[in-house]
Amino acid sequence: MTPIVFVIGLFTAVPIALVLAITAIWYIFESGNTVLVESLAQQMFSGIESYGLLAIPLFMLTGELMNEGGMTTRLINAARVFVGGVRGGLAYINLLANMFMAAIIGSAVSQIAVMSRAMVPVMEKEGYNRGFAAATTAAGGLLAPVIPPSMMFVIYGVMARLPIADMFIAGIVPGVLLAFSFALVIMVIGFVHNFPKGAWMDLRGALRALRDCLPAALIPVAIIGGIIMGIATPTESAAIASLIAFLIGWLVYKELKPVELFSLFRRTAINSAMVIFMIATANVFGWVVVYEAIPQKLAALITSVTQDPFLFLLIVNLLLLMVGMLIDGIAAMILVTPILLPIAMTHYGIDPFQFGVIISLNLVLGLLTPPVGVGLYVASSMSGVKPGEIMKGLWPFLLAVMTILILLSYFPSLTTALI
């Protein structure tokens, strides 16, 4: 009966946190095991008793402060300095600005929302197809879960008991490869459709744009530099970044008012509480999964099909793509990590950092694919472009992501070389 409860909850739009909690509680009472009943609250609390999870609300707060503090537009202007004059320049600006934002926000949905409002109207005004403009912006959001910092990496690191700093470092090379593949897609489409050629900024305008961007650029430097150099933990770096974002928005750009902080804190508290409650309920669900020995049973099934780690990862890629189409990325991460990670490490000797990057990138694809496709609908809502029209321009980027996933599956060193 427990699997039926889980499936019904999943497909009747019940919030995933409640689905996990109700399924676990149903199993506990159905089993009649009083030890499980007495340990329920303890298991929920132990799921969130991790210092690393503090990074989630702090990175969310940093993104909110940046949006309100005028840093986004200045990062876009800085990107215009480097690629504004080439054919399809605005598309490259969109991609480069998304890279800057990915190194700060760490959330694909937030990034897609911010960049859709900023870039789609500008690209349309300069002659780009609206569907392609929205698709490029949505694809740029896929960089957020891979380029550090990443909330997906934080959650995976906590669940897999891995150093979050090392998890961030593992995402650097894959993030650069993904951005490079997107640039190739833009170049090919630009030649086929004869994209408009942009204009280079004059020297004075370029220097002004770079000068205005410098304070905002301190944020990714503080986050990534602090982690790589061992000066601060990811959580401490997130706290420093949020403080820098506040001071820059308030004192330097003067677009952020202290009176607005309460609404920013409120939004951050609500959004982060949803994620953390989901982790708590998922810990109970994962406890039930382990109790029922589901990883061992699934491992026996998969190992009967193949003993090759690469083929196993290809199977996982297909499985996670389907899961990501139906379940939100963070929820799916919480759901599948306790099941698949032990199989990958124990039976196939796959590095946990490699597996974490592959899981994160796979699941975030679900943000842009129906039927759930939260990121797709956010891009549609913010840009006013129909989801079907966005999908027409999006499929080359999705193919590029799948190619990168195959490379990451075949070459572990792409994720482990810098650790």
What is the pLDDT, as a whole number, of residue 357? 94
The residue-averaged pLDDT of 387-412 equals 91
pLDDT tier at 199 (50, 70, 90 boundaries)? confident
Condensed to tens digits (0 to 9), the pLDDT of residues 259-289 reads 888 988 888 888 778 777 877 777 777 677 7
Phi/psi for 246 (5° steps) reads: -65, -50
The residue-averaged pLDDT of 222-236 equals 79
What's this model's pTM, rounded to 2 decimal places?
Answer: 0.80
Q: Is the pLDDT of residue 331 over 80?
A: no
Winning range, highest mean pLDDT, from 106-115, 200-209, 269-278, 282-291: 200-209
pLDDT tier at 35 (50, 70, 90 boundaries)? low
Winning range, highest mean pLDDT, from 83-97, 211-225, 278-292, 354-368: 354-368
Q: Is the pLDDT of residue 209 over 70?
A: yes
Please state whether the peptide bond connecting residue 149 to the residue before it is cis, i.e. omega within 30 degrees of 0. Answer: yes
Three-state SS across 20-87? Answer: HHHHHHHHHHHHCCHHHHHHHHHHHHHHHCCHHHHHHHHHHHHHHHHHHHCHHHHHHHHHHHHHCCCE
> And the tokens for 384?
């006013």
Decide which of 342 and 228 is more confident. 342
Decide which of 13 and 146 is more confident. 146
What is the pLDDT, as a whole number, of residue 405? 94
Decide which of 286 and 134 is more confident. 134
